[in-house]
Amino acid sequence: MILKDKKVLITGADGFIGSHLVEHLLNEGAKVKAFTYYNSFNSWGWLDTFPKEVLSEVEIFSGDIRDPYGVRTAVKGCDVILHLAALIAIPYSYHSPDSYVDTNIKGTLNILNAARDFGIEKTLVTSTSEVYGTALRVPIDEEHPKQGQSPYSATKIGADHMAESYYRSFNSPVTIVRPFNTFGPRQSARAVIPTIITQLLSGKEEIKLGSLHPTRDLLFVKDTVAGFAEIAKSDSLQGHEVNIATNSEISVGDLAQKLIDLINPNAKIVTDDQRLRPEKSEVERLFGSNEKIKKLTNWSQKFSLEEGLKQTIEWFRDPKNLAQYKTDIYNV
């Protein structure tokens, strides 16, 4: 598939990865329709930070992914769907799991039904490396067992299986895209890298973190959205699950030390108990295989961890960007 001139609906376009995907697909020549979360402030999330000349190229649809009628309205007339809208914070899922079922499972069902009814050419459903839980073997390929170690991951497993069922039951042209630990500009402070950077740039010398020993496969957001685009272009991935990963890992503690060395070598790490996951819920190791995406698409990793971290730090150094983060509280 060639994306140029295709009308592409991006759900969750107001979020971190979604907003970068909007930019990437505009550069591909696609006609982008951005599904943003309706609110009375008329906020379009990170899209509000786009230059006017860029935003003028985007069709905005404000709605709620949980509402099937609004979803149908958004989907009508589109050629391709990239479905990213989801609740993703793991700590919040511990006390509000019902909202995760509604958003992540029912929201995906709404997209699948609308896509089927309107004959959408291709639908990409966004998964997460959290569905694998703690690695039973590495690198984690797409055949690795799924383990619901948090209500969040359980709902994403449910959404993935719903997408798979539509492919198997109705031959829906669905692909499940599974990014590993994406980071970069605009990421929420609920994630570890923004948590560390914002604390350091605000002058704190004691950096509060949870567990330091778990490992993560860290992927710069520009590589992630390039992966989405290449998977969308491929004509051989219908019904497949596809990782976007770097085939590497780093511990949270080593990552924190890298950032400390880059920003303020005098800072120290302290453990904050409220940031610790329940023992059986903590994902101890994530190390993803990218063999499949490299074999079946033209994707390859362009940004090293160090390059991605430097670009991310520079974005956060801009006072107007840093001002949008509350560094004195734990962001769940």
pLDDT one-digit tens code per residue, 250-291: 999 999 999 999 999 999 999 999 899 999 999 999 999 999
pTM for this prediction: 0.97
322 vs 315: CA distance, rounded Å = 8
pLDDT of residue 255: 98
Share of the chain above pLDDT 90, in %: 96
Structure tokens at 268: 């120290």
Which CATH number applies to 7-183+220-244: 3.40.50.720, 2.60.40.10, 3.40.50.300, 3.40.47.10? 3.40.50.720
The string of pLDDT tens digits covering residues 225-258 is 999 999 999 999 999 999 999 999 999 999 999 9
How many residues in the chain? 332
What is the pLDDT, as a whole number, of residue 164?
98
Written in H, E and C, the secondary structure of the chain is CCCCCCEEEEECCCCHHHHHHHHHHHHCCCEEEEEEECCCCCCCHHHHHCCHHHHCCCEEEEECCCCHHHHHHHHCCCCEEEECCCCCCHHHHHHCHHHHHHHHHHHHHHHHHHHHHCCCCEEEEECCHHHHCCCCCCCECCCCCCCCCCHHHHHHHHHHHHHHHHHHHHCCCEEEEEECEEECCCCCCCCHHHHHHHHHHCCCCEEEECCCCCEECEEEHHHHHHHHHHHHHCCCCCCCEEEECCCCCEEHHHHHHHHHHHHCCCCEEEECHHHCCCCCCCCCECCECCHHHHHHCCCCCCCCHHHHHHHHHHHHHCHHHHCCCCCCCCCC
Alpha carbon distance 28, 163 (integer Å):
26
Whether 325 contacts 315, CB under 8 Å: no
pLDDT at 257: 97
pLDDT value of residue 327:
85
Quote the tokens at residue 320.
Answer: 């107007």
What confidence category does residue 329 fall into, taking pLDDT thresholds of 50, 70 and 90?
confident
- Label residue 50 by pLDDT band (50, 70, 90): very high
For residue 293, what are the contacts with CB-CB under 8 A and spacing of at least 6?
Answer: 227, 230, 231, 242, 243, 244, 245, 299
pLDDT digits over 123-163, tens only? 999 999 999 999 999 999 999 999 999 999 999 999 999 99
Taking all residues of the chain, what is their mean pLDDT, rounded to a whole number?
A: 97
Least confident window among 161-170, 175-184, 269-278: 269-278
| pLDDT tier at 116, thresholds 50, 70, 90 | very high
In this structure, what token pair is assigned to residue 160? 């993935």
Q: Is-cis flag, bond preceding 319, omega within 30?
A: no
Q: Residue 182 is encoded by which pair of tokens?
A: 């994406």
C-beta neighbour count of 73 within 10 angstroms = 13
